[in-house]
Amino acid sequence: MCAWDKEGIPGPNSTIKTFATVQDVEDANYEIIHCGACGDCSNWNDIQLQYTSSKYLAGIATVCTKKSLFRKIDIDDDNDVVVQCNHDQIGFTMPCSKAWKYDQLNTKGLATFTFIQAQLSNAFADMEVTFRDITMATIDESLSGPKFVPWVGATRRRMNIISDIRRPNYQQCTIVTQNWTEIFPDPFYPPLGGTYTIQPANGPSERVKILGQDSGFSMAQLLDNETNASLLEYDNVPK
């Protein structure tokens, strides 16, 4: 179990460590933040992104993955185009960005035809995981999940976050009882903004404009409803 200490309100300075059992967490006066051991994404910054980007992460990660097409890739290179995309357009720390790159490119490399087909077929826009459907989510899970999940540590499923990829309830880590909305009240605000196609679980695809820190707007302005409404543009994309 990956947990943080209960000393005060959770924050960037919280101590995060791995425990063997739930009882060990409780005995140490810690709180569970996700099932499984802590990994390269089990830090305040990346845990926050798992929650605040839950609606957009799949769409941005797809854009970052496409940057690898027809390029030489190096998972250990901080300047690699996919690593930099994960770092700048999502906001992951560098170690977490590299772990995500493994997931993105390993899945693409082992299922190239399916990856390309998924960009062309509306049938593959369904990200819901069921026993009856073969989707990009199930392909990714079977090909990259066994290495990727322990590597990153923190994932939305392990944090008991409901995300854009719908999963059966039994796959959620329900022993996590953190109030993520209270802990992370600020909106997703990556280093670089952009416009992305996202696929809600129950609805048509959308083109979403995401403001980044490069926009020059402060967090206070983003939190202002009138300002936010005038800056964000949501345009449905016909299926």
Return the pLDDT at 69. 73
Closest Cα partner for 122 from 107, 136, 104, 111?
136
Sign (positive or negative) of CA dihedral 223, 229, 233, 234: positive
113 pLDDT tier (thresholds 50, 70, 90): low
Give the sheet arrangement for strand 30-34, strand by strand: 16-18, 2-5, 30-34
Return the pLDDT at 147. 81
Domain that holds residue 216: 2-236
Sequence-distant (6+) residues with CB within 8 A of 77 are 83
Q: What is the largest CA-CA distance in the chain?
A: 53
Between 40 and 169, whose confidence is greater? Answer: 40
The SS3 assignment for 155 reads coil
Using a 10 angstrom Cβ sphere, with 0-12 exposed, 13-18 middle and 19 or more buried, the burial of residue 57 is buried
> In one letter, which amino acid is 167?
R
Tokens of 149: 């999940």
From 131-135, 158-162, 187-191, the region with the lowest mean pLDDT: 131-135
Please, are residues 96 and 40 in contact by the beta-carbon 8 Å criterion?
yes
pLDDT over threshold 80, residue 130? no
71 pLDDT tier (thresholds 50, 70, 90): low
Mean pLDDT of 99-128: 58
Mean pLDDT of 185-197: 91
E-assigned strands of 29-121?
30-34
Tokens of 2: 């990956």
The DSSP bridge partners found for residue 195 are 209
CB-facing half-sphere around the CA of 183: CA atoms within 13 A: 22
Task: Give the pairing type, strands 16-18 and 234-236.
Answer: unpaired
Between 61 and 44, whose confidence is greater? Answer: 44
Average pLDDT over all residues of the chain = 79
Percent of the chain with pLDDT over 70: 70
The Cα 27–Cα 42 span in angstroms is 21
170 pLDDT tier (thresholds 50, 70, 90): low
From 17-31, 48-62, 140-154, 184-198, the region with the lowest mean pLDDT: 140-154
Between 202 and 173, whose confidence is greater? Answer: 173
Task: Give the pairing type, strands 206-210 and 30-34.
Answer: unpaired
Please, are residues 118 and 127 in contact by the beta-carbon 8 Å criterion?
no
Sequence-distant (6+) residues with CB within 8 A of 113 are none
Return the pLDDT at 105. 77
Model's pTM, two decimal places? 0.78
- Total of domains in the chain: 1
Mean pLDDT of 8-18: 94
Closest Cα partner for 82 from 93, 96, 66?
66
Between 112 and 45, whose confidence is greater? Answer: 45
Between 173 and 137, whose confidence is greater? Answer: 173
Mean pLDDT of 55-62: 88
Between 48 and 199, whose confidence is greater? Answer: 48
Return the pLDDT at 169. 62
Return the pLDDT at 7. 86
**pLDDT tens column, 90-103:** 999 999 999 998 88
